[in-house]
Structure 1
Amino acid sequence: MSVPLRVLIADDHPMFRAALRHALGEIAPGLSVDEVANRSALEAAVAEGAPYDLAMLDLTMPGAMGFSSLVYLRGERPELPVLIVSSDDHARTIRRAQQFGAAGFVPKSAPAESLAQAVQAVLDGGLWFPPQQAERSEDDARLAERLAQLTPQQLRVLMRVADGLLNKQIAYELSLSENTVKIHVTAVLRKLGCHSRTQAAVLVKALALDSAGVAGEEDEVGG
């Protein structure tokens, strides 16, 4: 008897999570689904070590900065395919998702058939992206390479540095000693080639969605 699929859905809209759960049930009856609504809950779910077969990720959850959750998942669980499901379907957003390691991208406006095709393709070890994509960005490629040098723990520390947290606050959030956080920060700055926490924070902000893309997402949700 085959083990049922286990999927992690990360999206802050309860109704959309329910819609995804229903769609997945049609694709793979009997599957197991875990849901999270923000970045902290995502980290907690991943930390539990559940053997997920697929992660479905929105780009605008509370606590996330654009592609930061995607970069986190790719660093923490490189074997786990990540399918982005977003209402920001601008060509550059799709291209950036691919460059930062997503296995697929499905616009929230896409029909159920497209979602089914994407899920099946990704579970089979392939890729699934809409045809409209912008040109490859060398800046994003370099950023992805730099971030790939970090360990999962260093990436967690970096994201909190970008949020403006002090070492003492990061230590509390991650259950580490303040000295351990200091060591991680030093290693992060060295690996990224940054001379200060401010430089590192600016680097992380490059993961943010383009302003045009964010505006487009708000328009679609509102419409």
Structure 2
Amino acid sequence: MNLAKVLVADDHPLFRAAVLHALRDGVAVGQTLEVASASALTQALDEHPEVDLVLLDLSMPGARGFSSLVWLRGERPDIPVIIISSNDHPRVIRRAQQFGAVGFIPKSAPVEAIRNAVTAVMAGDTCFPPLAAERSERDALLAARLARLTPQQFRVLVCVADGLLNKQIAYELGLAENTVKVHVTAILKKLECNSRTQAALLVKALEPEGDPGLPDAGA
């Protein structure tokens, strides 16, 4: 049996160590990778395209709530993602599911629960705690609108939401400023937004407890 390569993305070293400890016994995991930020996650996947599973924290430097999950689903839809978070509110769990995660592990979960979740997902199943929150049609709409973007456009959108100017985005992403302008124009068109502010609100809605209200298309 081929052993899986698992990437753990969390900015707390002690928690990463706990997860790696849980994966050492009773789980068919071979190599493990660790990253502590959204940018490091991007780099790790570029350098290790053969990663089989990502365990993803919602609160890392460079991430905006579910932004890294949405980016991952667009960039590497073949890689299953399990969310690990200290925020296990039912609505957060439901939103993780709607944005494409295949599992959710509360950080308060015992080691055995982490092993069971990873084992289930590696076998092709999903693993979520009991869900009390209702499915949100607004979240479904948000996910569908963001899915129109290419991975590079999504990176630019996150920078726009951070308030960066085109010149700053170009520096941050290693692009020509004119290329950024083209991306921004395409982003606004795809998201049916009239301004950068409207587009930024879509990213704000990715916060775990963010306002799910979306700017109306063309409003």
TM over 0.5: yes
Which residue number in structure 1 is paired with residue 44 of structure 2? 45
* Cα offsets for 1:83-105 (capped at 9, x unmatched): 01111111000000000000000
Which residue number in structure 1 is paired with residue 90 of structure 2? 91
* Cα offsets for 1:122-163 (capped at 9, x unmatched): 111221100133000111000000001111111111111111
What letter matches 2:123 in structure 1?
A: D
Which residue number in structure 2 is paired with residue 183 of structure 1? 182
Residues paired across the two proteins, number:
210
- For 1:96 and 1:102, the matched residues in 2 are separated by 9
1:3, CA displacement in angstroms? 3.7
Secondary structure of the structure 2 residue equivalent to 1:70:
helix
What letter matches 1:75 in structure 2?
A: G
- For 1:151 and 1:41, the matched residues in 2 are separated by 19
- Point out where structure 1 has 5 or more consecutive residues left out of the alignment: 212-223
1:48, CA displacement in angstroms? 2.3
CA RMSD in angstroms, aligned pairs only: 1.3
What letter matches 2:181 in structure 1?
A: K
Secondary structure of the structure 2 residue equivalent to 1:94:
helix
Cα gap change, 1:104/1:29 in structure 2, threshold over 3 Å: closer, same or farther? Answer: closer
Asked if 1:27 is matched to 2:23, the reply is no
1:40, CA displacement in angstroms? 1.3
* Cα offsets for 1:158-211 (capped at 9, x unmatched): 111111111111111211111111111111110001111111001110001217
1:63, CA displacement in angstroms? 1.5
What letter matches 2:40 in structure 1?
A: A
- For 1:58 and 1:71, the matched residues in 2 are separated by 13
Which residue number in structure 1 is paired with residue 16 of structure 2? 17
Secondary structure of the structure 1 residue equivalent to 2:6:
strand
What letter matches 2:104 in structure 1?
A: F
* Structure 1 length-normalised TM: 0.90
- For 1:41 and 1:209, the matched residues in 2 are separated by 21
Q: What does residue range 99-138 of structure 1 map to in structure 2 within 5 Å?
A: 99-138=98-137
Secondary structure of the structure 2 residue equivalent to 1:63:
coil
- For 2:40 and 2:114, the matched residues in 1 are separated by 24
Q: Does structure 1 retain, via aligned residues, the 8 Å contact 2:27–2:115?
A: no
- For 1:100 and 1:117, the matched residues in 2 are separated by 22
Asked if 1:61 is matched to 2:65, the reply is no
Which residue number in structure 1 is paired with residue 215 of structure 2? none
Secondary structure of the structure 2 residue equivalent to 1:109:
coil
- For 1:121 and 1:54, the matched residues in 2 are separated by 12
Asked if 1:75 is matched to 2:74, the reply is yes
- For 1:100 and 1:14, the matched residues in 2 are separated by 26
Cα gap change, 1:30/1:78 in structure 2, threshold over 3 Å: closer, same or farther? Answer: closer
- For 1:47 and 1:30, the matched residues in 2 are separated by 20
- For 1:103 and 1:30, the matched residues in 2 are separated by 18
Which residue number in structure 2 is paired with residue 168 of structure 1? 167
**Structure with the higher helix share, 1 or 2:** 1
Which residue number in structure 2 is paired with residue 221 of structure 1? none
Secondary structure of the structure 2 residue equivalent to 1:114:
helix
Q: Does structure 2 retain, via aligned residues, the 8 Å contact 1:85–1:107?
A: yes
What letter matches 1:167 in structure 2?
A: N
